Amino acid sequence: MQKHDDIVGEGPDLWSPPATETLRTLPVAFSGSGSEYFRIWIVNLLLVLLTLTLYWPFARARRLAYFQNNTLVGGDPLGFHADPWTMFRGHLVVLALGIGYWTVSRFAPEAGWMALLAVAVLWPLLWRASLQFRLRNTSWRGVRMEFAGDTRGAYAVLLPFFLPALALALLIPSEVQPEPGSAARWGVLGAAGLSLLTVLATPWLLMRLKRYQHGGYVFTQQRLRLEASAMDLYALHFKTALVSLASMLLTAGLVFALMVLVLGLGQSEVLDTMRRPGVAAGGVLAVVALGIALLYLMIPLVALPYFTARFQNLLWSGSRSALVRFESRLRFRDLARVNALNWLLMVPTLGLYWPFAKVNIARLKLQALSVHVAGPVDDWVAQGQSGPSGVLGDAAGDFLGIDMGL
């Protein structure tokens, strides 16, 4: 077997199985159902509310176990082995950290930067521990997975996200209107400039984070590497902006056409009608209100599914090791259709359709994946590495919504 460091590789030739090896494709499937998950979800929700969120780690353990046990790779399910009590202890520790930060920010705002600095120092450790905990408690064919990312890498990819907030806390003055030319005014400008720079650098920072995350996934000494670049993610953001703009322009055109056709108004009469009271003006305003609502819906119904589908394909199709390569073929139109149906059914059910929506999205995303393996799987699937993880691990991943999930 090769060692981890030998498998990380350099450049685009990481996927280089021997020419004599046969390639086998392991499809990914999801066997869960919305009705099954609804029963788990409703019980979890009630217990979380009754215990004032103290049941949250146990609820999360049940949720993760359900989704992983119903995720089949090559016909074999993933396993989840985490101890909910370990997750509960970590939940209490991280909850105390959050309460401490809120208390300092609320009652001693002048020391808020110190609390934020403490979170910035601790969070990379907690996030890395979360990834280790999640992978060590995930198995396939009885073999545990592993996360091999180091602490230095965690700090390198996460600390830049905290810099704008620290700059705002340190540089923005307490007075509302600082004097022109004063150090406080320059502090405001400096903080604003750093925030703008961070926004522009977000695709680059996000890709660095994903390269660290995917590059730490290990299974039977096969360590992945993410070969996608920051330019790929910048291109995806640009395409998403174009799709959003096109969908909004199309929506605006349809709304205007509706006013012209349904209300029987010419182009020059629309604005005049809106200025005069009466039934026609009310009808125009109603159509305008509908158009504004539709414009807002373009983000979750069009822009977000487009970005999500392309981002999954970019990340997983670029993840590979010497003997393993992933492929993702999630289509935007499929995700948009399922997402729109979920929204349509969640509104009249007052959110009770959410578990079914969760299962629908998970099935679509997972079944778009496949794993290509060089050589017989039974030959290179050996005894995986397993071991205890710190009590902080899993709770840290949930605290700010950071998780390994697809």
37 close to 360: Cβ distance less than 8 angstroms: no
Given a cut of 80, is residue 54 above it in pLDDT? yes
C-beta atoms surrounding 251 within 10 Å: 20
The rounded distance, in Å, linking the Cα atoms of 294 and 219 is 45
Judged on CB neighbours under 10 Å (0-12, 13-18, 19+), 10 is: exposed
The rounded distance, in Å, linking the Cα atoms of 83 and 86 is 5
Q: Which pLDDT tens digit goes with each residue over 60-82?
A: 999 999 999 999 999 999 999 98
Residue 225 or residue 275, greater confidence: 225
pTM for the full predicted model: 0.84
Q: Which pLDDT tens digit goes with each residue over 209-265?
A: 999 999 999 988 889 999 999 999 999 999 999 999 999 888 888 877 776 665 555
Strand partners, 326: 371
Q: For 79-93, what is the mean pLDDT?
A: 87
The rounded distance, in Å, linking the Cα atoms of 87 and 60 is 9
Q: Which pLDDT tens digit goes with each residue over 112-165?
A: 788 889 889 988 988 998 899 899 899 998 888 999 999 999 999 999 888 877
Q: For 98-109, what is the mean pLDDT?
A: 86
pLDDT confidence of residue 386: 44
